Amino acid sequence: MSSLEILKDYDVVGNYSQDEVNGFSNDVIPTLINAVIDFYPKTLLDCMAGDGNLGQRCLETFAERKVPAPEMQVLEFSRVQSEIAKARLAQWNSTVWTGDILTMATHDGEPLFTENMFDCIMIKSANHEIPLASQLQMYSQLFRILKPGGLFINLGFAFEDEKARDEVRHLAQCKDSLAGLHGAAANRYFLMKDEFYAFLQNAGFNGIRPLKTFNYNISADRVGKNYFPTERAKYQAFKNAVASSAHLKENGFIESKGTDLAFLARGEITIAFKP
């Protein structure tokens, strides 16, 4: 799959609400943001930022808490999502770049960030977009551009049950295929928590630890509304796939609410430092 083909995926999605789809409880994103603010970064990178929603909430919270705002940069692969992020962040002191985390360059090959540049880098629910073979490259790039003593904070899937991970991967591929996100369906890799920690360690990070564990709660109704709002047959196909996830069901990872059906997946906010 060429990068241009993958690039089309989040161009196709357009406007959507990532946090709504993931069904995080109200305390999850504030925990991440407060940890960033309490670190008092002067330079901050929102990486794989989608429409820039995390960067925006972060800068709003810096202002509410009357903490001096950092100079924020934003990196996103999709041109469409980058444009949405630019509009969202127009009033804030920030720069949005369209490029690739694996090269830390624009799609035209222009290098973006230098070594030891950021006090803090945050990634929200995106490291699973990168294939297994490139995972170490991603954390090594983050390590390179982080300052010594800098903080990497990641919110993402962190599975401890391999069968649950496999069924969630199947459901994600089902949703991606139905939504026409063929690059994502082929490339995504859902890490076990210990695989993730090993990659961070191999990239050079230390002080790796969980800040918070939580559940993703991904429901058929919310997926349908955000990815195929007018296509009833696709919604029903996804709901059927959730209903037939035997291991998730047996282990209490399927939840019904009225006529809606959701699956749960282990998530974690993880922090790691560059020595």
Ligand X SMILES: C[S@@+](CC[C@H](N)C(=O)[O-])C[C@H]1O[C@@H](n2cnc3c(N)ncnc32)[C@H](O)[C@@H]1O
81 binds ligand X per the rule CB under 6 A: yes
Cβ nearer to ligand X, comparing 102 with 136:
102
In 10 A of CB 199, how many CB atoms? 20
Cβ nearer to ligand X, comparing 37 with 101:
101
248 binds ligand X per the rule CB under 6 A: no
191 binds ligand X per the rule CB under 6 A: no
| Contact flags string 18-57 toward ligand X, x per CB under 6 A | x-----------------------------xxx--xx---
**What 3-state DSSP class applies to 43?**
strand
100 binds ligand X per the rule CB under 6 A: yes
What 8-state DSSP symbol labels residue 40? -
Give yes or no for a contact between 59 and 90, defined as CB atoms under 8 angstroms apart: no
Looking up tokens 């982080």 gives 146
Cβ nearer to ligand X, comparing 102 with 186:
102
Taking CB under 6 A as the criterion, the residue among 43, 56, 73, 125 binding ligand X is: 125
Cβ nearer to ligand X, comparing 129 with 167:
129
190 binds ligand X per the rule CB under 6 A: no
Taking CB under 6 A as the criterion, the residue among 43, 56, 73, 78 binding ligand X is: 78
**What 3-state DSSP class applies to 121?**
strand
The stretch near ligand X (CB under 6 A) out of 98-106, 146-154, 172-180, 204-212 is 98-106
Size of the site for ligand X (CB under 6 A): 19
Give yes or no for a contact between 203 and 140, defined as CB atoms under 8 angstroms apart: yes
Q: If you compute the radius of gyration of the chain from its CA atoms, what whole number of angstroms results? A: 18
Taking CB under 6 A as the criterion, the residue among 77, 118, 197, 199 binding ligand X is: 77
Cβ nearer to ligand X, comparing 32 with 200:
32
Find the angle CA(25)-CA(30)-CA(33) to the nearest 5 degrees.
Answer: 140
Residue-wise over 148-182: b if at least 16 C-beta within 10 A, else e?
Answer: eebbbbbbbbbbebeebbebbbebbbbbbbbbbbb
In 10 A of CB 108, how many CB atoms? 7
Under the rule (CB under 6 A), what is the footprint of ligand X?
Answer: 10, 18, 48-50, 53-54, 75-78, 81, 100-102, 124-126, 129
